[in-house]
Structure 1
């Protein structure tokens, strides 16, 4: 077990999009040791390309959050190597959109297994480790779809709504040992996923958003950093959507 004085931060699903933006922002602080996660094996070139994007050294950990065994191995590996885990960001998520009446049961279960069960798996084992040292912070990446629903996303909305309940319960149980848990509910954020939208759809969304633009992934990362550093916020859902759901 390596002695480590840095804050150990593990971000699931963090090789791209919001998760990668979270990792980059947090890695700028020399006092943080950031561990990013991929659900699939990466080539040496892919790992090098990822690490080259960071000014400070990071770690890369492969594992599937939807598997309880894999989740346990990841947390155990972090504890064995670094002696602790200070922050867990449950960011891993997938979508399989379709209108509810056309959605197959397998698609519904697959999205819940990654987004919600995955967050549960990671939280279960991270929380145990945090409880031993009586400190820690867990952040769950929910969505405005989990607060208000979204057509064609019954599975995604249900998974993100479930994360809100998971967050509040984790906050209650975690507070007994000084551990905080909060959620972030992003709105329309510029990522590879939203870049697939047509110009017409983007314009339609921007018209509905009071701030008249999509958010940036770094604006979510800024919120993650804020929640890590504010030690009197727990059990909350912070909506970052440019006013879309006012």
Structure 2
């Protein structure tokens, strides 16, 4: 696999790793762009196994840097239903063909965009801080993170609804995705067989570019206020949705 990639594919892969670093530094909403880039190189299902170890590298950094800002009460509301969603996603992804897999990824992210737009246009801004709301989004996020590493939009929607400040938002999602991504690893190895020795080597080569993105993102975020941060999440997610739909 290492020597079968063209120069263009290597450029796209390393660029995706850099963007992933930006995402894990706290610039949320751009992870959909990364998914689209890797689908372009490796295909829908295979790309999930390449991306997962890359995500975990970024998650570890994010937890170390933003740990003190985590709001655990929101995390525990979302995590149990996400675990169930991962189990459902593992089974579904194992039985559907590649083309259906790709279309499901596109549909999932487009639905998430509609949900985020609906939330922002509501006349009432009351926060549905209850277990049912968290469980619904958690189940969906768990399913989408297994099927295409696309949970970010649904998790973002939940934490945006909770009106978490920027650093609390980043710290809480950092822990959430580290836990859930590590949980997914055995399913990729033994159920889907999308993580192999070859794919691990590809993922490892991207690590320097991930760290470059991480450190760049931290510097950028120090200059961004909460309102601009929220607006960027919506814009980046919308762009990513278009890319995944046409990839």
Q: Same fold (TM over 0.5)?
A: no
Whose helix fraction is larger, Structure 1's or Structure 2's?
Answer: 2
Structure with the larger RCO, 1 or 2 (CA within 8 Å, 6+ apart): 2
Whose strand fraction is larger, Structure 1's or Structure 2's?
Answer: 1
TM-score (structure 2 length as normaliser) = 0.30
Which one has the largest radius of gyration? 1
TM-score (structure 1 length as normaliser) = 0.30
